Amino acid sequence: AGSEAADMLMLMIAIWGIQNFMWRQKRVTRDLISGAICIYMLAGLVWSDAYSLCEIFRNGSFSGIDLGENVFAIRGALTYFSYVTMLTVGYGDILPVSYMARSLSILQGLFGQMYLAVFIAGILGAFLSQQNLGSAGREQQGPDEIDRP
């Protein structure tokens, strides 16, 4: 359990650092968009660690995982389940059985959809709006003014 908790903490610190970088930006840049995508990908790993902790503290929290496999295979299966849940694909080959696992799955599904629909879409909309405003400003300037600072 210590390894999963430490991994989760390290990932959360990385997410916090990226989030701090993003909040300091005055404009929406490609770096900001990349940061938002990195947070989404790292969040999937945080949820995977949460599922691992859930399975450690309550054996059998998930069906469809062979607990006889080595720890890496189990972690791989839970990482797979994490991203399938966050993307709300839900193939059904791994299912949450315990109340804690079901609750975490619901929260992750909500997080994944809200993050994409609200946060990422908002950032991309602001980025495209900036691009359109920038090109409109260049069109209104005379040909001599385009290259001037």
- Residue 137, pLDDT > 80, answer no
- Residue 83, pLDDT > 70, answer yes
- Residue 146, pLDDT > 50, answer no
When pLDDT is cut at 50, 70 and 90, the band that residue 36 belongs to is very high
- Going from the C-alpha of 58 to that of each of 2, 53, 101, 104, 129, the distances in angstroms are 15, 8, 9, 14, 48
pLDDT for res 136: 63
Q: Pick the more confident residue, 142 or 63.
A: 63
Q: Pick the more confident residue, 42 or 25.
A: 42
